[in-house]
């Protein structure tokens, strides 16, 4: 089985490389490998891009693909962390209210930016939506966490249920904003809720990239502790894990990365749910392998999805969330059916 | 090793453990017995550090249990719980390796791998190493968990004494493995481990325990050392059921309810 194979990581890396180069090459304009190398070479030597293709590569295609990879990796890792924390294979990163809060924040800007303080709008420029989305995501998650903190321990089921409630509030808020919005604004909201990478810039790449790097290193440090959590909370404590601290930290990490990713590209569903599943089949549930494997697989799959989004109706673009859900949902169901035995102890108990 | 001083535990004014005191030395095998709801598991949980007593205190190696950090404590004592539900597919060996987690940083050392193999051999579950834990039978799973707990105890010596807590460790096992598990625990006692186990089978308790702590309605009724006589009156008052104690010709006792 591949699970024991030492080739899995090299294979994933090569696959990532192939997908990335293909994704860069294909698009409204095709870019040759030669142009890619020359563009990078010119950039290193602080020279202007040699031709229009090199310019497209440097200014549009490359940041887009990079943002795509980073976001894919973030969503996948966050899915692993959430599922590990909640000891539940069908948990999604958005379940703590993060993405619904972010969506509401973004919709506020789309509808009300006309009546906002002119200086604020001018000062923040293209970052206005991300800032509001980030704040919305953070706020919603904080509300979920505070409300579920009943006595002393944060009970995981309570957390999930309150997450669902806050999600519903966020959704209805976004719904209300679309309702009072004028047509183009409503379209912006809809589009944002389905996610897109069409506006990717280098600034976004740097911001999400640094957050992602920081969070990935930390999450690898929690891999062992997440493993023990598989045994149950009490047992994890017996094995030396301060579970309350772990929960708090994982939730902060998760919120930070999901808010940042969502703030720039909108809501992308199913990635955080499916990738940990598939990777668990391939590398097993040891988080030390599961986290890096999901990271790479997330990058590969979201880049592929974005390629589909750009090419399917070219020159028009399909929102990427439509692709991830449309392809992701059936795959998810198939996986769930086939691996049913893995998740129900003894098999066939339910 | 562990010193329980006038410990009580109450939830919403209901007293689950009432004024219990107990002193266990390294190398001792103590069995806690009593009817359902007597407070056995609650007492064990307090000794594990998972529950804080509402009154009294517990000293582990002379230091208040409440002042230990979670990761420090994991190197001093291990706990086998009654019931495990594993949320994700992991191999049996991966589960056992978790017992070594408190001892290494990122990757297991050769020493950890050796201990894991050794403990799985001792529990005779080596051939299950690569099986997914979720496909194991209840008994197999219990033996794998026991291997994990033994791996967490690690190697002990005169200056490195540890505490092993077992909560109904044999409830899923067939007769042969009930004895095997308790014999392995008893072996640990010879290596400076103090074992405290909750059991329901009085005959197993008689065979393996150096001391039996009888509890009923949150209180300790009798702390019975091995050399003290076990009477049917005592057992009947604890379990509310008639019993006969048979003295075996080869020595030892057998209780029939």
DSSP state of B244: E
What is the spatial distance between Cα A134 and Cα A88, in angstroms, rounded to a whole number?
26
Instruction: Tell me the chain B residues in contact with residue A280 when contact means C-beta distances shorter than 8 Å.
Output: 88-89
* Residue A43 within a domain: no
Nearest in space to B189 (alpha carbons), one of B219, B210, B218:
B210
Contact A228 B98 (CB under 8 A): yes
* Residue A319 within a domain: yes
DSSP state of A339: T
pLDDT at residue A345, as a whole number:
42
Average pLDDT across chain A, whole number: 83
Domain count of the fold of chain A: 1
* Residue A5 within a domain: no
* Residue A211 within a domain: yes
Contact A239 B101 (CB under 8 A): yes
Which residue is closest to B72 within chain A, CA to CA? A240
Asked if residues B92 and A246 have their Cβ atoms less than 8 Å apart, the reply is no
* Residue A124 within a domain: yes
Average pLDDT over residues B33-55: 93
Report pLDDT digits (tens) over B55-92. Answer: 999 999 999 999 999 999 999 999 999 878 887 888 99
- B71 part of contact set with chain A, CB < 8 Å: yes
- B69 part of contact set with chain A, CB < 8 Å: yes
Task: Calculate how close chain A gets to B7, using CA atoms only, in Å.
Answer: 21
Contact A240 B75 (CB under 8 A): yes
* Residue A314 within a domain: yes
Q: Is the pLDDT of residue A151 over 60?
A: no
- B73 part of contact set with chain A, CB < 8 Å: yes
What is the spatial distance between Cα B104 and Cα B89, in angstroms, rounded to a whole number?
23
- B86 part of contact set with chain A, CB < 8 Å: yes
- Domain span including residue A91: 63-343
Nearest in space to B116 (alpha carbons), one of B152, B143, B80:
B152
Domains within chain B, CATH numbers bracketed? 2-256 (3.40.50.300)
Instruction: Tell me the chain A residues in contact with residue B50 when contact means C-beta distances shorter than 8 Å.
Output: 234, 237-238
Report pLDDT digits (tens) over A1-14. Answer: 445 567 888 999 99
What tokens appear for A316 in the block?
A: 């028009």
Contact B134 A88 (CB under 8 A): no
Report pLDDT digits (tens) over B121-149. Answer: 999 999 999 998 988 998 999 999 999 99
Q: How many beta carbons lie within 10 A of that of residue A171, not counting itself? A: 15
What is the spatial distance between Cα B112 and Cα B115, in angstroms, rounded to a whole number?
5
Q: Is the pLDDT of residue B216 over 70?
A: yes
Task: Calculate how close chain A gets to B149, using CA atoms only, in Å.
Answer: 9
Contact B50 A235 (CB under 8 A): no
- B87 part of contact set with chain A, CB < 8 Å: yes
Instruction: Tell me the chain B residues in contact with residue A238 when contact means C-beta distances shorter than 8 Å.
Output: 48, 50, 74, 78-79, 81
Task: Please report, for the domain that includes residue A148, its CATH number.
Answer: 1.10.3470.10
ipTM associated with this complex: 0.88
* Residue A177 within a domain: yes
More confident residue, A231 or A191: A231
What is the spatial distance between Cα B91 and Cα B115, in angstroms, rounded to a whole number?
17
Q: Which of A145-154, A247-256, B77-86 has the lowest mean pLDDT?
A: A145-154
Phi, psi (degrees; rounded to nearest 5) at B242: -65, 145
Instruction: Tell me the chain B residues in contact with residue A345 when contact means C-beta distances shorter than 8 Å.
Output: 85-86, 134
More confident residue, B7 or A344: B7
Q: Is the pLDDT of residue B46 over 80?
A: yes
User: What CA–CA distances, in Å, run from A303 to A30, A56, A108, B50?
Assistant: 16, 18, 29, 46
* Residue A90 within a domain: yes
Q: Which candidate from B71, B87, B91 shows the least CB-CB separation from A240?
A: B71
Task: Note the pTM of the prediction, 2 decimals.
Answer: 0.86
């Amino acid at each position: 089985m591949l699970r024991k194979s030492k080739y899995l990581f090299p294979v994933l890396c090569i696959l990532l490389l192939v997908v990335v180069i293909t994704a860069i090459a294909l698009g409204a304009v095709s870019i040759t490998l030669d142009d890619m190398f020359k563009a990078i070479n010119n950039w290193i030597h602080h020279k202007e891009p040699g031709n229009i293709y090199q310019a497209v590569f440097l200014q549009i295609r490359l940041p887009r693909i990079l943002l795509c990879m980073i976001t894919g990796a973030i969503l996948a890792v966050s899915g692993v962390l959430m599922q590990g924390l909640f000891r539940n294979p069908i948990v999604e990163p958005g379940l703590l209210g993060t993405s619904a809060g972010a969506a509401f924040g973004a919709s506020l800007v789309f509808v009300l930016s006309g009546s906002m303080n002119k200086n604020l709008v001018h000062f923040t420029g293209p970052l206005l939506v991300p800032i509001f989305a980030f704040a919305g995501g953070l706020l919603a998650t904080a509300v979920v966490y505070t409300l579920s903190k009943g006595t002393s321990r944060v009970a995981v089921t309570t957390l999930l249920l309150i997450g669902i409630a806050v999600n519903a509030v966020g959704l209805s808020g976004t719904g209300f904003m679309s309702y009072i919005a004028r047509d183009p604004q409503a379209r912006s909201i809809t589009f944002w809720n389905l996610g897109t990478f069409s506006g990717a810039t280098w600034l976004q790449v740097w911001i999400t990239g640094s957050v992602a790097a920081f969070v990935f290193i930390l999450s690898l440090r929690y891999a062992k502790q997440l493993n023990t959590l598989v045994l149950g909370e009490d047992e994890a404590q017996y094995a030396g894990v301060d579970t309350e601290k772990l929960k708090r930290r994982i939730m902060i990490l998760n919120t930070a990365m999901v808010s940042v990713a969502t703030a720039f590209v909108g809501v992308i569903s199913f990635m955080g749910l499916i990738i940990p599943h598939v990777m668990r089949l391939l590398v097993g549930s040891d988080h030390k392998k599961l986290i890096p494997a999901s990271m790479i697989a997330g990058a590969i799959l979201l880049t592929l999805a974005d390629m589909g989004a750009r090419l399917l109706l070219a020159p028009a673009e399909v929102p990427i969330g439509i692709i991830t859900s449309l392809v992701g949902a059936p795959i998810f169901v198939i996986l769930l059916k086939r691996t049913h035995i893995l998740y129900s102890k003894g098999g066939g108990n339910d | 090793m562990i010193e329980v001083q006038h410990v009580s535990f109450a939830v919403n004014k209901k007293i689950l453990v009432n004024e219990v005191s107990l002193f266990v030395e390294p190398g001792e095998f103590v069995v806690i017995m009593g009817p359902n709801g007597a407070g056995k598991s609650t007492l064990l949980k307090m000794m594990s550090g998972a529950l804080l007593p509402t009154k009294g205190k517990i000293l582990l190696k002379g230091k208040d249990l409440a002042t230990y950090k979670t990761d420090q404590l994991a190197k001093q004592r291990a706990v086998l719980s009654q019931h495990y539900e594993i949320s994700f597919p992991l191999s049996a060996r991966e589960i056992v390796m978790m017992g070594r987690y408190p001892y290494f940083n990122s990757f297991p050392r050769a020493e950890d791998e050796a201990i894991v193999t050794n403990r799985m051999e001792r529990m005779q579950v080596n051939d299950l190493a690569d099986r997914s834990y979720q496909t194991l039978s209840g008994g197999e799973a219990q033996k794998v968990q026991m291997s994990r707990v033994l791996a967490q105890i690690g190697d002990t010596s005169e200056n490195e004494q540890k505490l092993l807590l077992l909560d109904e460790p044999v409830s899923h096992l067939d007769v042969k493995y009930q004895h095997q598990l308790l014999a392995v625990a008893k072996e640990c006692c010879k290596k400076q481990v103090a074992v405290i186990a909750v059991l329901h089978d009085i005959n197993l308790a008689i065979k393996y325990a150096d001391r039996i702590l009888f509890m009923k309605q949150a209180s300790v009724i009798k702390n019975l050392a091995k050399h003290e006589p076990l009477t049917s009156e005592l057992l009947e008052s604890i379990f509310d059921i008639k019993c006969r104690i048979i003295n075996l010709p080869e020595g030892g006792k057998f209780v029939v309810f």
